Structure 1
């Protein structure tokens, strides 16, 4: 693997505006306190709060009520712990402990029950069940079905990423691009925001190829950008699930050259997104029976995706200490990670 030198995150020139919820800092504090109360974090609490999940929630939520912002911030906090704990188990060769944990989460997602008593007591499982109940209570049945399906894909993607890291394995660039849409954990969060905005598009809109391409473009732009921001950490710890690293290996080039390639891909994907957006509305306008209210709902949904793209970018640059932390850049585990978090599962 080539060395990483003189790393600077480029400007991706996202052509969208963004406004942050005025109480995002409060949501960050409440989500941090919730994680501590649920024993997801017991040490280095300030470092954990520095992730800024409340600020991210405030940037991507539009004009939803504050209750939705803080619920999303708590879900994001839980998701970061899940991701870091999964990384800890991979690093320490303890992936066998992952299956009872994720099995209990998947069981609750499908049935609303957990039959395995030890898993019920795990802080990650308890946090999940509490948040899942609250999230699903605010979703229509079709939206709840999408949320469950999307989160199952998240869990599956984590298993795939773990497999990619075994014995120095490396996915193809093409496989990584598909996997990244789910390992980002974005789709369930986007479901939450849409519900908070009062958007509940019918399934035939979700099934439109033009709409699906808008969603895919959104996920790609955010995921590829995050691969750039997290490159120092993932390169340092040998994590091969990173677009820049994979392109450097595929093209046998330096990481600096691969970074320029990814920057070009992101710029092209942004232009592609704008064209996909225009194509979607041409499809809607050409179709019979597209009522103005439905077109407006689709428009609000698309604006929400734009909030996600620019909001994630601004959060990573200015409000999240995760990507500038020396431990993170050195490839070390976060100081707040609990080595014993899944011991009871």
Structure 2
């Protein structure tokens, strides 16, 4: 039990929540930390099922979560009593209570993409299957689980960017580059564990396969790609604000909302980097680096019997 508690605390999700939340209310930071904690458990439990070839047990859990996102109800008494599902519904209710209607729709859509990405990662772990670098980059934007968390922070900061701005190609490019920078760096930190257990859902591993090079050389390539992506982020950001400034009818309040939202994305990039380097022992833990399962993984968390 002590090992499980220590490993779970070592994730440092409270540190991460604090680093990326800006000036949001304390209660929102705590809620984000709780959601992050739940998300790490979700990810590790899903990995446990992949390793043990028990993905059939995942379907009723994912189905119950998906049903709740669509209808606000759990239609199975067994699923309703599942700890992972119950944790989701309790947190989801608290999160949605603080979101506007458009933000609620984005949060729900983003988390459905998270669930879909977990299914795709499971398919990628089958023997002989290795996704392309390009496919992994697209998948990683959702398997990181960042977008629903970003929705929470934006709401906590009182940022209300209309959906038509979220849909602008220039805005979407800023978001995509932000997600890539964070996700690719995380692939570098998590490489020892994922390589040890044969997980191909890692950019460094896939670059090594594509370029027929060593992992050390692939690491250097990905590091260079991250630096290039940062430059692309800055270019995307400039294009977005030039577009807004070129519009004669651009509301100054809208421009300020977009500016605050972009600054929040920068908090995410910087905060995630500092958290991984200095506050999260998950990636330096010998058990994790050896590709072993977390001590807090519990088979009954995905049981709906």
Shared fold (TM-score greater than 0.5)? yes
Paired residues of 1:184 and 1:223 also in contact (CA < 8 A): yes
Figure out how many residues of one structure are paired with residues of the other and give that number.
Answer: 305
How far did residue 323 of structure 1 move?
0.3
Q: Which runs of 4+ in 1 moved over 3 A?
A: none
Alpha-carbon separation, structure 1, partners of 2:296 and 2:82:
17
Matches within 5 A, 1:150-165: 150-165=110-125
CA shift digits 1:199-246 (9 cap, x unpaired): 011111101111110000000000000000000000000000000000
Match of 1:105 among 60, 65, 79: 65
Alpha-carbon separation, structure 2, partners of 1:115 and 1:154:
21
Alpha-carbon separation, structure 2, partners of 1:208 and 1:122:
40
Alpha-carbon separation, structure 1, partners of 2:176 and 2:303:
37
CA shift digits 1:87-138 (9 cap, x unpaired): 0000001000000000000001110001111110011000000000011111
Matches within 5 A, 1:138-287: 138-287=98-247
Residue 327 of structure 1 is matched in structure 2 by: 287
Matches within 5 A, 1:40-79: 44-79=4-39
* Residue 89 (1) aligns with residue 49 (2): yes
User: Which sits farther off after the overlay, 177-186 or 333-342?
Assistant: 333-342
How far did residue 339 of structure 1 move?
2.4
SS where residue 230 of structure 1 aligns?
A: helix
Alpha-carbon separation, structure 2, partners of 1:43 and 1:153:
32
Alpha-carbon separation, structure 2, partners of 1:233 and 1:144:
35
Alpha-carbon separation, structure 1, partners of 2:231 and 2:274:
19
Structure with bigger helix share is: 2
Paired residues of 1:42 and 1:336 also in contact (CA < 8 A): no
Alpha-carbon separation, structure 1, partners of 2:257 and 2:144:
25
Alpha-carbon separation, structure 2, partners of 1:258 and 1:42:
37
Alpha-carbon separation, structure 2, partners of 1:322 and 1:184:
16
Alpha-carbon separation, structure 2, partners of 1:210 and 1:107:
33
Match of 2:266 among 283, 302, 306: 306
How far did residue 250 of structure 1 move?
0.9
Residue 129 of structure 1 is matched in structure 2 by: 89
Paired residues of 1:205 and 1:211 also in contact (CA < 8 A): yes
SS where residue 262 of structure 2 aligns?
A: helix
Alpha-carbon separation, structure 2, partners of 1:262 and 1:43:
33
Residue segments in structure 1 that go unaligned for 5+ positions in a row: 1-40
SS where residue 110 of structure 1 aligns?
A: helix
Residue 342 of structure 1 is matched in structure 2 by: 302
Paired residues of 2:60 and 2:304 also in contact (CA < 8 A): no
TM-score when normalising by structure 2: 0.98
CA shift digits 1:183-214 (9 cap, x unpaired): 00000000000000000111111011111100
Paired residues of 1:42 and 1:338 also in contact (CA < 8 A): no
Residue 74 of structure 2 is matched in structure 1 by: 114
Alpha-carbon separation, structure 2, partners of 1:288 and 1:187:
31
Alpha-carbon separation, structure 2, partners of 1:184 and 1:81:
13
Residue 7 of structure 1 is matched in structure 2 by: none
How far did residue 42 of structure 1 move?
9.1
How far did residue 343 of structure 1 move?
2.2
Residue segments in structure 2 that go unaligned for 5+ positions in a row: none
Alpha-carbon separation, structure 2, partners of 1:103 and 1:190:
24
